[in-house]
Amino acid sequence: MSDTFKGKAVITGASAGIGKAYAERLAQRGYDLLLVARRAKLLEDVASSLRSAHGVKVSTIIADLGDPKALDGVATTIASDDSITMLVNNAGTSSMSAVGNATTAGTDAMTDLNITALVRLTLAVLPGFKARNKGTIINLGSILGFHSLPVSAIYSGTKGYVLNFTRGLQDELADTGVSVQLVLPAATATDLWDIFGVPLSALDPATVMTVDDMVDAALTGLDLGEAITLPSVENAKELLDAYDAARMTLLAAGQTSKPASRYRLAA
C-alpha cells in the first residue's frame, strides 16, 4: 500500500471489467474506495479481496444507476462525503442494433446510464471539489464518440455526449485545481460484448485490448496530465491536434449572419 493517503475514489460499474481494474489499481496507489455496482455478490467479492490485499478501506453501494431513485441515493451520499478526491464514471451499457430495431427500454437504458448517471454524479462531487480546489474526475467514453456505425447510432450518440460534456467541463475548470480526464478506449475485452450481442471470439484479437492494459494506459495518461487519453492510439496528440484544428475551422466558418452562397437563390 502507498505510504501517502490519497483520499477516497468512487468507482461506478466496479464489480467487473474496467471498473474492477480501476479499483485494483487505485487500491494499489493507496486510495480508499467507494465501489458502486448492481451485482451485489461480485461487488462484495471485489471489495473483500481489495481490503485483504491492500489494507485500504473499501465500502460498497449496491445500486443500479439506471434507476432514478438509486441514482439519487448515490448522488446524495457522495455529495456529502468530503473525503472523496476522485470520481471514476465508468458504468455504462450498450446494445448494438439499427435505430429502427431499437426498443424504448434499450434506448432508455443507454441514455440513463451512459449520460444521466455520469452527469448527475459529476454534479454531485463538483461543488466539493471546487470548494477544496482539488479533485479528479475520470469519464469513460469511447472512440465511437467520434464516429457512428450503422448499428451504433444510439451508443455512439451517448458517447458523443460524454465527449463534448467532458471537454466543456475541462475548459470550465481549466484555471482550478480540479482535473478532468476523458478516456476513449477502442475495443476492450469486457463482458459488455455479450450485452452487445457480439462475442469476443468474433473480433480480430489484434484489435482488442485487455482490460488491464487499457486501465494501466489510462492511469499513465492521467499521471502525464493528459486531458484526453486514447489508450490504443500511438500518435494521439498529432491526430487530436488535427481534429481540433478542423473542428475549430468549421466552427469559425459558421460565425456569419448570411446563408452560405449555395443557399442563395438566383435573382
- The confidence band for 4, taking pLDDT boundaries of 50, 70 and 90, is low
- The confidence band for 113, taking pLDDT boundaries of 50, 70 and 90, is very high
Residues 8-12 have a mean pLDDT of: 98
- Residue 138: enclosing H or E segment and its boundaries? strand 135-140
User: For position 53, which CATH number holds?
Assistant: 3.40.50.720
Instruction: Inform me whether the pLDDT recorded for 170 exceeds 60.
Output: yes
Q: Give the pLDDT confidence score for residue 104 in this predicted structure.
A: 93
- Under DSSP, the state recorded for 202 is G
Mean pLDDT of the chain: 93
Q: Is residue 217 part of a domain?
A: yes
Q: Is residue 260 part of a domain?
A: no
Span 205-260, pLDDT tens digits = 777 899 999 999 999 999 999 999 999 999 999 999 999 999 999 999 999 999 99
Lowest mean pLDDT among 72-86, 87-101, 162-176, 231-245: 87-101
Instruction: Inform me whether the pLDDT recorded for 111 exceeds 60.
Output: yes
Q: Is residue 244 part of a domain?
A: no
Q: Give the pLDDT confidence score for residue 206 in this predicted structure.
A: 79
Distance CA 238, CA 234 (A): 9
Instruction: Inform me whether the pLDDT recorded for 180 exceeds 50.
Output: yes
Span 22-58, pLDDT tens digits = 999 999 999 999 999 999 999 999 999 999 999 999 9
- Active-site residues, by number, are 155
Distance CA 259, CA 191 (A): 48
Q: Is residue 241 part of a domain?
A: no
Q: What angle do CA 1, 139, 77 make, to 5 degrees?
A: 70
Q: Give the pLDDT confidence score for residue 1 in this predicted structure.
A: 40
Q: Is residue 205 part of a domain?
A: yes
Q: Give the pLDDT confidence score for residue 197 in this predicted structure.
A: 62
Total of domains in the chain: 1
Residue range(s) defining the domain that contains residue 175:
8-235
Span 202-219, pLDDT tens digits = 777 777 899 999 999 999
Percent of residues, the chain, with pLDDT higher than 90: 84
Q: Is residue 226 part of a domain?
A: yes
Q: Is residue 2 part of a domain?
A: no
242: cell is 488535427
Q: Is residue 52 part of a domain?
A: yes
Please report, to the nearest 10 degrees, the dihedral formed by the alpha carbons of residues 76, 141, 193, 34 taken in order: -30
